[in-house]
Structure 1
Amino acid sequence: MRIGLAGAGRIGARHAAALCELPEVEALVVADADAARARALAARLGGAPAERRAPGGPSSPEGAGSRRPAQTPTGSLGRAPGGADVRAVGEVGELFSAGLDGLVVAAATDAHADLVERALAAGLPVFCEKPLASDLDGTFQIVASAKKAGIPVQVGFQRRFDAGNAAAREALASGRLGWLHTVRSCSFDPAPPPAEYVPTSGGLFRDCVIHDLDLIRFVTGRDVVRVMASGANRGEDFFRDSGDVDTGSALLVLDDGTLAQVSATRYNAAGYDARLELFGSKDSIVAGLDERTPVTALPEHDEEHRDPYAGFLERFSAAYDAELRAFVDVVAGRRANPCPPEDALEAFYLAEACELSMREGRIVGAEEVRR
């Protein structure tokens, strides 16, 4: 199959390398708002930038097997070490006439909604990094468009594909924990993002905590009925200046009475830390605790520790690979969509509820933000 990639930045480059390792991916077509960056990525992967493209219509919506172009784009393709042919095109819009079988969206957040809508109009299955859109209205619209088109849109909540989180879900479903009474999830970044990123990030709860919110729903299989959230600023002023917080916490009440606590911060110099803890009437388990987890047990021992995780790309490296493996299976029709847009909308609702609770200093019911 031929896969398109919109976005050649940090996460796009990581996805490109992973896609090239998948045996089904015969060709990868890369585009970015910065054409030079797309060409550089293609060159690093062993590809060649496209000089011209033969004319061809958009992909057929009749199924993955019918999405081959009438003509192959002209010019030689470079071959990546994993076996895929890699090509860069001049503009992102050219992806939709490149005879693709599927599209991976890893562009800037404000471009996500338009790219997903265009992929749906072209009949292309699409994988989109979260968020689907920069606001609730845009997310709601994409859910409606995907449902109408009947085309799969897989959202990039990679923590669902982490081996530990998947095992926690299975353990809970098996009855090993008994009845669940407490869930704790954390997302601790070792250092804050660049100051210029913060004003367009959506805020800590929409940008960061949304992963925890989705994971709690996914692992427990329960909905959240109300939240109480708070935030603080103890670090750089640019968070406060942008109306954001650098540290936040939320208490969630699930529909069966289980309590869940989420904590996040931009300042955890010990290293990147993302853990999920489940406490039940029979047993307690934790996902994300290993020799590289940046916590120190007291009293301290002289045991040698490995370097802590530097960031989310390293901590969830295998999960990123697994979610793209899943997307290729979705494109091929071998499995159902493991992370549909409806789930992304639910997580966005909860992030909105957390933001509202923090701003107004009160408990917010999930129904208050739902449409």
Structure 2
Amino acid sequence: MRIGLIGTGRIGSFHAGVLSGHRDVGALVVADADASRAAEVARRTGATAVRSADEVFSGGVDAVVIASATSSHAALVGRAARAGLPVFCEKPVSLDLPGTLAALREVETAGSILQLGFMRRFDAGYTAARERVRSGALGRLHTVRAITSDPAPPPAAYLPLSGGIYRDCLVHDFDMVRWVTGREVVEVYATGSDAGPAMFREAGDVDTAAALLTLDDGALATATATRCNGAGYDVRLELAGDLDQISVGLDDRTPITSTEPHGPAPAGAPWPGFLERFAPAYAAELDAFLKVARGELANPCDGREALHALRIAEACELSRRAHRPVRLDEDELVTG
């Protein structure tokens, strides 16, 4: 297969390495707004660098991977759809519901393929948790706790472009709550704190956030995130039922120290960031995309699936600003 990759920043560069070494990729074409960055990634991976996305689309590719700036995602997804090309796009399609819905309509009208980059669906721990929950091993699920903690804030210039902590960071946890439990979120109540670095206040964002989610069967889920977890990168999901409870992300690299006299030893080498923690999952989702593009696998995360997580994130942002519970069936969250 001949694959086009648009965007060669941190995640795009990682994707280039995976794709260039994949047994089913015969040629990789890369483009970036920063031509020198694309050229360097091409040199390192054996890909061919071109000057623009236009050249990717005119270069006879069989599928496209989008890892460019978020603001460009929706237009590129639409372009791939009109060209009849299967497309993998890093989340989100757009930073708002109207933009997301418009892009999804283009995909549906064209009858093309869009797979969204929710890599945790390909992580061994989350997959095992889903199987345990769906098998009934936990009994009636009553409590879910999702945690995402970054070791250090992103660059200040990134914050105004990110969509905020709910859309950029916690959206992965919202997707996992749905995917693992098989339930839908019906109401959220969210809050946040901007007491950390001033750049968060200046961007209208928060550095730490929490949300209480009510699921459609009455189970309760909490989702918390922070950009300032100096101990290291910490991503966990805890699920408790009336028969058993389990945890994803609890291992010898979890950056948490027990104060109990006989507790486990502190992690020796905490995960430094998301790429290191989820590297196998990122590779697995691209492998799945290539199978989807060849018609060998059903799409594991299409645009409509991703839309649910974005709606939860939108509801949380509305709840934080309005200081009230928000139901997912409120008009502006349904129609965008």
**Shorter-chain TM-score: which interval?**
over 0.9
- Relative to structure 1, the CA distance from residue 180 to residue 304 in structure 2 (aligned partners, 3 Å threshold; closer, same or farther) is closer
State the partner residue of 1:133.
94
Percent identity of paired positions between Structure 1 and Structure 2: 55
Q: Which residue of 2 aligns with 1:189?
A: 150
One-letter amino acid matched to 2:159: V
**Structure 2 equivalent of residue 150 of structure 1:** 111
Shift of 1:165: 0.3
Aligned residue number for residue 230 of structure 1: 191
Match for residue 312 of structure 2?
350
Please say which of residues 303-312 and 213-222 is displaced more in the overlay. 303-312
| 1:199-214 alignment, distance < 5 Å | 199-214=160-175
CA contact under 8 A between 2:187 and 2:326: conserved in structure 1? yes
Instruction: Indicate yes or no: 2:238 matched with 1:277.
Output: yes
Cα offset, 1:306, TM superposition: 2.4
CA distance in 2, matches of 1:136, 1:231: 22
Gaps of 5+ in 1: 48-85
Mapped pair 1:93 → 2:66: no
SS at match of 1:367: coil
**1:7-47: per-residue Cα shift (whole Å, max 9, x none)?**
011100000101122101111000111112111110011x3
Q: Within 5 Å, give how 1:11-50 maps onto structure 2.
A: 11-45=11-45, 47=46
- Residue identity in the other structure for 2:310: F
Q: Deviations over 1:89-110 (max 9, x none)?
A: 1112111111111100000111
Q: Look up the match of 1:258.
A: 219
For residue 137 of structure 2, give the secondary structure of its aligned residue in structure 1.
coil
Instruction: Please state how far the C-alpha of 1:117 moved relative to its aligned partner.
Output: 0.7
Following the alignment from structure 2 to structure 1, what is the Cα–Cα distance between the partners of residues 175 and 200? 24
User: What's the CA shift for 1:299?
Assistant: 2.3
Residue of structure 1 aligned with 2:299, choices 301, 316, 337: 337
Shift of 1:234: 2.0
Is 2:233–2:270's contact at 8 Å kept on the other side of the alignment? yes
Instruction: Measure the CA separation in 1 of the matches of 2:314 and 2:26.
Output: 40
Matched, 1:122 2:83: yes
Deviations 1:273-298 (A, max 9, x none): 00011101111000111000101112
2-structure distance, mates of 1:304, 1:355: 35
Task: Give structure 2 stretches of 5+ with no counterpart.
Answer: none
Counterparts of 1:48-127 in structure 2, within 5 Å, are 86-127=47-88
Q: Is the 8 A contact 2:75 2:103 kept in 1?
A: no
* Alignment map for 1:158-169 (pairs within 5 Å): 158-169=119-130
The 1-side partners of 2:327 and 2:159 are apart by 27
Distance change (3 Å), C-alpha of 1:182 and 1:121: same
Do 2:254 and 2:267's aligned partners in 1 also have CA atoms closer than 8 Å?
no
Distance 2:33 2:211 in 1: 36
Distance 2:242 2:107 in 1: 40
Structure 1 counterpart of 2:334, which letter? R
Amino acid at match of 2:298: A
Question: Larger Cα Rg: Structure 1 or Structure 2?
Answer: 1
Q: What is the rounded CA distance, in whole Å, between the counterparts of 2:277 and 2:103 in structure 1?
A: 30
Q: Alpha-carbon deviations, 1:156-207, whole Å to 9, x = none? A: 0111111000000000111111110000101100000111111111111111
**Structure 2 counterpart of 1:54:** none
**1:302 positional shift:** 8.6
| Separation in 2, partners of 1:306, 1:229 | 34
Q: Is the 8 A contact 2:257 2:267 kept in 1?
A: no
* TM norm structure 1: 0.88
Q: What SS is found at the alignment partner of 2:254?
A: coil
- The Cα RMSD (Å) is 1.1
Deviation of 1:304 (Å): 6.8
| Higher helix proportion | 2
Task: Pick from 194, 204, 214 the counterpart of residue 243 of structure 1.
Answer: 204
Q: Deviations over 1:299-340 (max 9, x none)?
A: 266947421000111111111011001101101111011000
Q: Contact conserved, 2:165 with 2:209, CA < 8 A, in 1? A: yes
1:370 is matched with 334
> So what's the TM-score if we normalise by structure 2?
0.97
SS of the aligned residue for 1:291 comes to: coil
State how far apart, in whole Å, the 1-side matches of 2:150 and 2:190 are. Answer: 19
Between 144-153 and 159-168, report the one with greater CA deviation. Answer: 144-153
The one-letter code matched in structure 2 to 1:6 is I
Rounded to whole Å, the distance in 2 between the matches of 1:191 and 1:350 is: 25
Secondary structure of 2:329's counterpart equals helix
Q: CA separation of 1:42/1:232 partners in 2, compared to 1, >3 Å: closer, same or farther?
A: same
Secondary structure at the aligned position of 1:200 is classed as: helix
